[in-house]
Chains A and B, each alone.
Chain A
């Protein structure tokens, strides 16, 4: 009894694998660097992502070619967008919205403009591109994303793009051969520390056929790490040391420059 059930399960599993292998491509990706080290001379860097579309047959399955969308999402944080208005001749912040747990960094790189890759519903479902990514705001007691044309949402995206923390490139993925592609991921100097999720989606004929993910990490090392940890964990000691340093340098300078 048990044996027959196991055999049946095994058969189902085997059939499923065979069917999958016959129809689908696999996506193999690799990053040039998984750990970006921030030292005193750090001024931004670029990580290269290579990917290959694999299948068991010699020729690509989709004659129409593939499309790739790479999404890199940085550590999440909350940000406040404030709007100024003239009140009694002076420009004052009159309204503010808080975006809750939004990516501090977001890069959307694709081989084609997104609307040429898949229809709008698919893109929205997959959260592909700035228009479709979830950016929840605190509105009264609720937390929700709003319409795409919302002025605060538009302003948030524009400000993040100006800081080069949000990057959208519809020619950011280059196919070197019909099945091999690369993408350059720019990481600016002001990128936050932490883990960055790399998500690669493969599209063909308007539908997603494979997905793969990876991650990279931006970390402080050496002296920078030491200072940052000291400031965070030993505030009093750090403060006293900095103040003492200031006074000692001041005293030392007055000795050195004692010409009178």
Chain B
């Protein structure tokens, strides 16, 4: 069944959109990521204007992370103190990211910068996650004890001042690295048009040693707030949020996220990280492919908005 999208100005199959929402929602619920890095390229692939895709995906991510966050909240799998502190940094980072985004756009090389940023970030993060999780799976198989916490492995930033005890996550770290991570995620999210969950989760796990139990729920709270404000910002600045498109994606997304969250609980941390790492790596390779392989058409067309 075809439905006409009022802002994207395009008819699309409603069931295709629902299925995409479901699939991405499932993945986002399972790994505690927004899924923007999957949904945005998918929408562009079916012919939706990139600006509309990025803007509308924000509300889709907000909805699926909201329903996910509530599920995790009920299981006490959210660290409110940690979430609040990350958010404070995230807001600053987002503001800075939007400023740089505008600057890059004026230079006509935004597409390339986004593709390179996706490629670099996704392949490095994906490869690291795959390697780490495979190592720990092998270690478990060999019967060695899993060293979830390595008390001796103090990194330099553990010596920083403003130490703060995050009770639910059972960690005692300086507030400075938490803020820095928040700023970084907000910044990257604004530049790449993603929630940043797939970066936040490994950062919290590997740098702050947040246990897998609270990491996903906490990351979801951050994603929910940043993406809800991104929806409002996109509506105010460039009027590109397509509410009809968003609604269809949201309905698919929230249902998918519920099943995803349940599936995620059945998997152990290592396998979850391995799967997410593989997924991230795959999307990164897809961007590499697009950059390196000669495009079918060397010319491309773009409507200039608000040109004299």
Contact = CB atoms under 8 A, between A and B. Distances in A.
Instruction: Please say whether chains A and B are actual partners in one complex.
Output: yes
Contact of B62 (A80, A84, A159, A250): A250
Interface-central residue, B4, B299, B303, B307, by most chain A CB under 10 Å: B299
B232 A236 contact: yes
B154 interface: no
Interface string A207-242: 000000000000010011101100110011011111
B49 to A, nearest CB: 10
A57 interface: no
A225 B59 CA distance: 21
Given A78-B303, A80-B301, A92-B112, A220 B233 contact: no
B268 interface: no
B294 interface: yes
Interface stretch (B66-74, B79-87, B143-151, B158-166): B66-74
A245 B251 CA distance: 11
- For chain A, give the interface size range: 35 or more
Does more than half of chain B's interface fall in helix, strand or loop, or is it mixed? Answer: helix
Given A159-B299, A227-B7, A43 B2 contact: yes
A251 B66 contact: yes
B39 to A, nearest CB: 13
B300 interface: yes
Nearest to A154: B299
B106 interface: no
Interface residues of B, number: 63
Interface stretch (A3-11, A93-101, A174-182): A93-101
Contacts of B2: 41, 43
B61 to A, nearest CB: 9
B302 A40 contact: no
B10 interface: yes
B234 interface: yes
Given A247-B228, A253-B254, A238 B241 contact: yes
A249 B292 contact: no
B64 interface: yes
Contacts of A251: 66-67, 70
A153 B277 CA distance: 44
Interface string B264-296: 000000000000000000000000000111110
Interface in A70-120: 77-86, 89-93, 96, 98, 100
Contact of A246 (B233, B250, B255): B250
B232 A79 contact: no
Contact of B301 (A79, A241, A249): A79
Given A253-B257, A257-B258, A239 B232 contact: yes
Contacts of B254: 249-250, 252-254
A21 interface: no
Contacts of A84: 295, 298-300
B243 interface: yes
B9 A190 contact: yes
Given A83-B298, A89-B292, A249-B251, A42 B303 contact: no
Contact of A159 (B6, B251, B300): B300
Contact of B224 (A79, A227, A247): A247
A242 B302 contact: no
Nearest to A190: B10
A235 B298 CA distance: 36
B10 to A, nearest CB: 6
Interface in B1-59: 2-4, 6-7, 9-11, 59
B244 interface: yes
A155 to B, nearest CB: 4
A58 to B, nearest CB: 49
A253 B62 CA distance: 13
B102 interface: no
A154 to B, nearest CB: 9
Central interface residue in A91, A160, A242, A260, by most chain B CB within 10 Å = A242
A189 B307 contact: no
A171 interface: no
Contact of B299 (A81, A163, A258): A81
Contacts of B294: 86, 91
A144 interface: no
Interface in A157-191: 158-160, 163, 189-190
Contacts of A196: none
A33 interface: no
25 contacts: A40-B3, A40-B244, A77-B304, A78-B303, A80-B302, A80-B303, A91-B292, A92-B112, A93-B111, A159-B297, A227-B7, A228-B7, A231-B7, A235-B239, A242-B231, A247-B62, A247-B66, A249-B251, A249-B254, A250-B63, A252-B254, A254-B70, A254-B258, A257-B71, A257-B255
Given A79-B304, A231-B239, A250-B67, 4 more contacts: A83-B299, A193-B9, A235-B239, A253-B255
**Top 3 closest pairs, chain A to chain B, by CB:** A239-B235, A250-B66, A253-B254
